[in-house]
Structure 1
Amino acid sequence: MAPSTERTRLAALERGQGDLVCAMLPEWFAGPFDWSQPMLPEGEVILTAARAKRPSSLADLRGLTIGTVHGFVYPELEQALGSGFVREDAPNAAANLRKLNQGRMDYAVSNQR
């Protein structure tokens, strides 16, 4: 889940005061929400620095540091990598892109959009 703005939206949903939320996935929340079918496809991609070896599967990332966003949950990565999912949390996706460009890490997960 994203920082304060997203938490505010979630709180509104929990109180039954919201009916449309963008850029959120049901897997991120344990609450009893009545999710509709998505209006736009939502997905995640692994970004790879040009200097790094491109993974051919998620399993290739086991044990390697992956840039993630603090507070976000990544069910597919957690399931595929298990204890080999090594997170490097940043405050947002833009910070992960900066880290990639600066050579501070080789991989990051980002929203498909």
Structure 2
Amino acid sequence: MPATIEVFTSPTCPHCPSAVKLAKELAKERDDIRVIESSTVTAQGQKRAQKYGIMTVPTVLVSGPSHPQKIGLQGTPPKSSLIKAVEASLGLRVLEEEKREGFFSKLLKKFNIKVKV
């Protein structure tokens, strides 16, 4: 089962195209990634953004078979951060944040979302 990179976008967002481009480029480099773009101007995109409490775009959520929570990245993440999130979702690495989990991380776990700023 592949990792999923979901990029939340808006047509008026100047940074969203670079986030989508990065996700698609990474998916071309690896066969264990699929990319979904969710536009917040569509009913479905709004519903998904509301479900995960997404208030800014671009926001990138990474999920996979080996990580119980979605890994969230705000803005256009560096490629290295996106790779780390994908590898964690596939069980190939442990995120640094999980090694030293604190109150904030535990709180976010409660809502089944992980945010990396």
**Higher helix proportion (structure 1 or 2):** 2
Q: TM-score, normalised by structure 2?
A: 0.25
**Structure of greater relative contact order (alpha carbons < 8 Å, 6+ residues apart):** 1
Give the number of the structure whose alpha-carbon radius of gyration is greater.
Answer: 1
**Higher strand proportion (structure 1 or 2):** 2
